[in-house]
Amino acid sequence: MFPSRHFIGIETLSREELLEILSLGAKYRLLLDQDDKNLTDLKNCTVANLFFENSTRTRFSFELAERRLGATVINFNNESSSSAKGETVLDTIKNLEVMKIDMVVIRHTLSGICNMLSRSVQASIINAGEGTHEHPTQALLDVLSLQQHFNEFKGLSVGIIGDILHSRVARSLVFALRLLGANVHLIGPKTLLPAHFERFGVTLHHQLDPILPELDATVSLRIQMERMESGYLPSLIEFHKAYGIDERRIGKMKSHAIIMHPGPVNRGVELSHYAVDSEKSIILDQVTNGVAVRMAVLKMIYEFRSSSL
Ligand code: CP
């Protein structure tokens, strides 16, 4: 049973709850590989997708997941909605609520907005990436992809590379991997890898090359170009030299090691063209798993709501 009518982060999940979501996600992944992919489980449910920040993978995979489960779906366009006239997010959702929506999938730049909304509305709030806080469904698809590849997490060494400081993806993934018992290595320059991350039970590295041969999987994070102007990085070329995965570094990885990235990839920065398209890359498989885990989250929240009526 899902622990709440909202899904805001991995941090508050138990290991059993996380495994239950992954198990349902794995079942939906099998369904996605069949010709008939469509169910009617959420036929009485209306979901509003509110993306206040750009998105390709998360937005479309949530919408596909909702439609695959038979939900009624409405999409919000930030530029053409009344939020462009100054309406608050809370007022927007309260207006949608009286039109009888059940769930809100939200992406926003503000850390903490999902928690605030969850205390003020009846609809379920699902975090689709919030500020620098968490991106929980990204972590779910990442760990489902790892599970499909390696079967278990005990003894698995995963390196998360790049801008850890500003990454909601890194935070959610660290919580998920630690719950599942994997060894987590955070790798990046001192400006983007603060020492306080050690409290999450991970190992910090400021150089990639010494630890790379030990890793079973690398997860490179997208470098946000605006960080360049803020003085966090000397240049993208320097970053690629120190932390980019390319053909030379692939040669130093374990033979079974895999390359992951949440997308969108800056080709030539976090990963070379060769690395993105190499046999070790499971980046597109991660995207397919995104639909499956989002179906699992929607279904489990729907069941929680139905059981608490
Ligand atoms: N990984 C991810 O969140 O991608 P989008 O920004 O395209 O949704």
* Tens digit of each residue's pLDDT (9 = 90 or more) over 209-267: 999 999 999 999 999 877 667 788 888 999 999 999 999 999 999 999 999 999 999 99
Give 250 Cα–ligand 1 centroid separation in angstroms: 25
pLDDT attached to residue 243: 98
Pocket test of ligand 1: the residue of 51, 54, 58, 106 to mutate, having most ligand atoms within 8 Å of its CB, is 58
Any atom of ligand 1 within 6 Å of the Cβ of 60: no
Give 56 Cα–ligand 1 centroid separation in angstroms: 6
Position 54, amino acid: N
Taking 3-state DSSP, the helix, strand and coil percentages for the chain, each rounded to the nearest 5, stand at 45, 15, 40
Position 248, amino acid: R
From first CA to last CA, the distance across the chain in angstroms is 15
33 Cα distance to chain centroid: 22
pLDDT attached to residue 167: 94
pLDDT attached to residue 228: 67
Give 266 Cα–ligand 1 centroid separation in angstroms: 13
Any atom of ligand 1 within 6 Å of the Cβ of 220: no
Nearest CA to ligand 1 atom 5: 55
Using 50, 70 and 90 to split pLDDT, how confident is the model at 283?
Answer: very high
Output the pTM of the full model. Answer: 0.97
Any atom of ligand 1 within 6 Å of the Cβ of 138: yes
Any atom of ligand 1 within 6 Å of the Cβ of 290: no
Any atom of ligand 1 within 6 Å of the Cβ of 37: no
Pocket test of ligand 1: the residue of 49, 53, 57 to mutate, having most ligand atoms within 8 Å of its CB, is 57
Using 50, 70 and 90 to split pLDDT, how confident is the model at 308?
Answer: confident
Average pLDDT rounded to a whole number, residues 20-48 = 97
Nearest CA to ligand 1 atom 3: 58
Using one digit for the tens of pLDDT, what is the confidence trace for 110-143?
999 999 999 999 999 999 999 999 999 999 999 9
pLDDT at 176 over 70: yes
In the chain, what are the domains? 15-133+287-308 (3.40.50.1370), 136-286 (3.40.50.1370)
Report residue 95: phi and psi, to 5°: -70, -35
CA distance 88 to 48: 16
CA distance 127 to 9: 7
Give 178 Cα–ligand 1 centroid separation in angstroms: 23
> Is the four-CA dihedral 46, 50, 56, 58 of positive or negative sign?
negative
pLDDT at 54 over 90: yes
pLDDT attached to residue 82: 82
Cite the DSSP H helix spans in 52-208: 57-68, 89-97, 113-118, 136-150, 168-180
Nearest CA to ligand 1 atom 4: 57
**Mean pLDDT across the chain:** 95
| Cis previous bond, 264, omega within 30 | yes
Average pLDDT rounded to a whole number, residues 285-308 = 97
pLDDT attached to residue 83: 80
Give 307 Cα–ligand 1 centroid separation in angstroms: 32
pLDDT attached to residue 192: 93
Calculate what percentage of the chain has a pLDDT beyond 70.
Answer: 99
Collect all residues with Cβ–Cβ distance below 8 Å to 142 and sequence separation of at least 6. Answer: 169, 173, 176, 219, 260, 262, 286
Question: Pairing relation of β-strands 258-260 and 217-220?
Answer: parallel
pLDDT attached to residue 300: 97
Strand partners, 77: 51
- Answer yes or no: are the C-beta atoms of 38 and 295 closer than 8 Å: no
Residue 18 vs residues 136, 139, 180, 277: alpha-carbon distances, Å: 11, 10, 8, 30
- Answer yes or no: are the C-beta atoms of 205 and 186 closer than 8 Å: yes
CA distance 113 to 14: 23
From the list 162, 144, 93, 88, the residue with the least C-alpha distance to 291 is 144
Q: How many C-beta atoms surround the C-beta of residue 74 within 10 A?
A: 15
- Answer yes or no: are the C-beta atoms of 175 and 9 closer than 8 Å: yes
Average pLDDT rounded to a whole number, residues 278-298 = 98
pLDDT attached to residue 135: 98
In three-state secondary structure terms, 260 is strand
More confident site: 84 or 301? 301
